[in-house]
Amino acid sequence: MLPREKYLQKGLTNLSDMELIAILVGKGVKGRNFLDVSKSVLLQMKRVVQKKTEIDIKDIVGVEGIGLVTAMRILSGIELGRRLYEVDSGEKIFLKTSNDAYTLLRDISRRKQEHVVALFLNSRFELLARRTICIGSLDGVSVLPRDIIIPALEVNASSVVLAHNHPSGDHTPSSDDIVITKRISEGLGLVGLNLLDHIVIGEKGWERVDLS
DSSP output for 105-143: HGGGGG-SSEEEEEEEE-TT-BEEEEEEEEEE--STTT-
Counted residue by residue, the chain has a size of 212
3-18 pLDDT, tens digit each: 888 888 877 677 787 7
CA dihedral 183, 188, 189, 192 (to 10 degrees): 180
CA distances to 40, 63, 195 from 32, rounded to whole Å, are 11, 12, 54
Report d(CA 212, CA 205) in Å as an integer. 22
Q: Other C-beta atoms within 10 Å of 78: how many? A: 15
Would you call 19 helix, strand, or coil by DSSP? helix
Looking at every residue in the chain, the average pLDDT score rounds to 83
Through-space distance between the first and last CA atoms of the chain, rounded to whole angstroms: 61
In this structure, the strands spanning 206-208 and 194-201 are: antiparallel
User: What is the chain's alpha carbon radius of gyration, rounded to the nearest angstrom?
Assistant: 20
% of the chain exceeding 90 in pLDDT: 36
% of the chain exceeding 70 in pLDDT: 87
Residue 113, amino acid: Q
CATH superfamily of 98-208: Cytidine Deaminase, domain 2 (3.40.140.10)
Strand partners, 165: 201
Instruction: Band the pLDDT of 132: cuts 50, 70, 90.
Output: confident
Report d(CA 148, CA 181) in Å as an integer. 12
| 190 vs 89 pLDDT, higher one | 190
**pTM for the structure as a whole:** 0.62
Q: What pLDDT was estimated at residue 141?
A: 42
27-51 pLDDT, tens digit each: 766 667 777 888 888 888 888 777 7
Question: Which range, 21-35, 69-83, 125-139, 175-189, is most confident?
Answer: 175-189
**Residue extents of the structural domains in the chain:** 3-84, 98-208
Report d(CA 189, CA 207) in Å as an integer. 23
The pLDDT of 143-149, averaged and rounded, is 90
